[in-house]
Amino acid sequence: MTTRRFARLLPQINSSHWIAGIVAVITLCISATGQACSNPPESPKSERSIGKDDIKSCEPSIPGRIGRMFNYQYGLAEQPASIVATANGTSQIIPNPEGYLNQHQLGFQLSELFPATSSKSGLASIVTGIVASRDYKDKAIRFNSPCSRGTGVECLANAGGFFERFLASVSGNFAIAERNSVQQGIVTNQSFSQHYGPAGEIDFDPSSLFITGTSWKAAVVALKGISYDQKLFAPEELNCFNKDGDPSTTPGFCIKQFAAPRFAASMKAGAGTKIAFALIPSKVQFKAVDQFDFLKNGGLLVPVPALQRSLKSYTLTWDVKRWIPSTEDRLAILAAYKSYEPPSPKASKVSQPKLCITILGGVRGYLPVPDNFTAEECSDLAHIAKADHYALGCANTAGVAIGKQNELAAPTPNYPDSQDCNWLQ
């Protein structure tokens, strides 16, 4: 079999091998990314923290990220059944020797290597999911920032470092495509390297490079349910996002401070940042396509070594959108304004929550009673203790809920607001 025929039949002969290889890669990626958010070990304490290890357990492993980074695309382009070609010095209509042209493309997306930078499943989304986990119910949650510097809300808004966000903006593909056997009207007998031409494309979209109002909103939402400490907010962040911040801070001030894009959450968008915004294109695209190394001369294809190996094209787009905060970013800051409220202490049950309270004048006696103790029995107990009145209580770690006092002979007692003790049995 000639090299040319082998090149033409390669996609057909090895189609089963291509499919088997793709299935193997998918299987490897599934096994590598099958690591779900692992539940933290049970803690006897009433406080639980979210830190670097908890966040890492929700992200794909390194092999899983590499597997997710790539995608393979196979294309078939049908060709005309007949074509005009030069044979014996005359132009003739002949059957096209190529029914379909094959193309193989391997794409990559570097953002998969840095899952924290994702707008949908990034660092803020991970923390939001962990806080909502049932394993964190009824516990105070402390946020141990995985970032080496900056406040807690800045760490979540940054969604990774500048270098990570820069690389996450890069995507592209490498392709190898089959050429038609008829080139410039002449039927050719091409070698494999001539019959298949490589191509490539690199795209840079810097939208994930900047911290916007949407980033701040996601960060503040993620902190809901997190216990307050001084490391969560800087002064301006505290006044804009914390409900207990300076009441004189207006929404307009916060929109002005945080809606404009910036390179890092801890940096303000000053004059230097705006100049950088103007210099950085809003989109960069680079393409390179291999060209056929022959030119038609006197009815023959003549090799021309002086031809470029590939033809390249560059596309750079600039705009001033980053200078002006969008309506979406302004509304995001408005939604985050004063939305963080330190969670109140959560009550949990005690071992013996029921209380029978005897009342004599201004003196009260609190007696823990079994779960099957009834209101009628509490009335009888108050009568034996020679009390004037009695009350029903329910205790938990947050305090004691006590119903209104009852006459000893009252037919219907007053129950406490909390029904965790099941006084209504």
What tens digit of pLDDT does each residue of 144-202 get? 888 888 899 999 998 888 888 889 999 999 998 887 776 666 766 766 667 777 889 99
Higher pLDDT, 307 or 332: 332
Shared domain check, 357 and 224: no
Shared domain check, 191 and 131: yes
The four Cα atoms 216, 217, 218, 224 give a dihedral, to 10 degrees, of 110
Q: How far apart are CA 70 and CA 3, in angstroms?
A: 30
Which pLDDT belongs to residue 73?
93
What tens digit of pLDDT does each residue of 194-250 get? 777 788 999 998 888 888 899 999 999 999 888 888 889 999 999 999 998 898 999
Shared domain check, 368 and 228: no
Shared domain check, 365 and 323: no
- 3-class secondary-structure state, position 203: strand
Given a cut of 50, is residue 15 above it in pLDDT?
no
Which pLDDT belongs to residue 300?
53
Query: Quick one: pLDDT band at residue 80, thresholds 50, 70, 90?
Result: confident
Percent of the chain beyond pLDDT 90?
21
Which pLDDT belongs to residue 134?
58
Q: What is the DSSP string of 257-315?
A: HHSS-BSSTTS---HHHHHHHHHS-SEEEEEEEE--SEEEETTEEEE-TTS-SEEEEEE
* Residue 323 covered by a domain: yes
Among candidates 205, 210, 197, 207, which has minimal Cα distance to 285? 205
Which pLDDT belongs to residue 266?
81
Among candidates 96, 94, 294, which has minimal Cα distance to 193? 294
* Residue 380 covered by a domain: yes
Look at the block and give the residue holding tokens 């509490």.
Answer: 378
What tens digit of pLDDT does each residue of 104-159 get? 999 999 999 998 887 666 888 888 888 887 566 656 788 888 888 889 999 999 88
Higher pLDDT, 341 or 305: 341
Q: What is the DSSP string of 8-66?
A: HHHHHHTHHHHHHHHHHHHHHHHHHH----PPPPP-SSSEEEE-HHHHHHTSPPHHHHH
* Residue 395 covered by a domain: yes
* Residue 44 covered by a domain: yes
As given in the structure block, the two tokens for residue 210 are 């900047």
User: Which domain-ending residue is among 336, 363, 380?
Assistant: 336
Whether 7 and 196 have beta carbons less than 8 Å apart is answered as: yes
Question: For the chain, how many residues are written?
Answer: 425
Look at the block and give the residue holding tokens 């695209």.
Answer: 285
What tens digit of pLDDT does each residue of 55-76 get? 888 889 999 999 999 999 998 8
What tens digit of pLDDT does each residue of 85-103 get? 776 667 778 788 887 888 9
Domain that holds residue 398: 349-407
Whether 86 and 93 have beta carbons less than 8 Å apart is answered as: no
Shared domain check, 21 and 152: yes
* Residue 153 covered by a domain: yes
Whether 141 and 135 have beta carbons less than 8 Å apart is answered as: no
* Residue 415 covered by a domain: no
Total domain count for the chain?
2
Query: Quick one: pLDDT band at residue 49, thresholds 50, 70, 90?
Result: confident
